[in-house]
Amino acid sequence: MNALQKSAVALAGFAALALPSAGVAAPAAKGQTPPPRMMAQHFYAPIFEKERYDSVLSLNDHCPVKHGKLNTNIRPTYINRQPVGFC
């Protein structure tokens, strides 16, 4: 295979890839159903309870380090007079 044949094969390949992206679609075969429509995905978000420190509710509801439940044995850090709990 010489360089001219390789170039022709490469151009044919690029043309085959460019046609679907240019809006030219192949006709659908009979009996095929159209592709399903995209649906919005619903992701699960865990719900954590906020801890109460000295009768003040914590700013965060989960640990900023491990993203788990707050540990009541670790003293909170007060930022702007509001407790921030850790795990």
State percent of the chain over pLDDT 70: 79
pLDDT value at residue 20: 59
pLDDT value at residue 26: 59
pLDDT value at residue 78: 87
How far apart CA 58 and CA 4 sit, in angstroms, is 72
pLDDT value at residue 25: 57
Instruction: Quote the pTM value.
Output: 0.42
Read off the pLDDT of residues 43-58 as tens digits, 9 standing for 90 and up: 776 677 788 887 888 8
Residue 78 belongs to a domain = yes
How far apart CA 22 and CA 64 sit, in angstroms, is 47
Structural domain boundaries, residue 53: 47-87
How many domains in the chain? 1
pLDDT value at residue 29: 61
Residue 73 belongs to a domain = yes
DSSP 5-67: HHHHHHHHHHHHHHHHHTT--PPPPTTPPPPPPP----------PPPEETTEE-S-SS-TTTS
Residue 55 belongs to a domain = yes
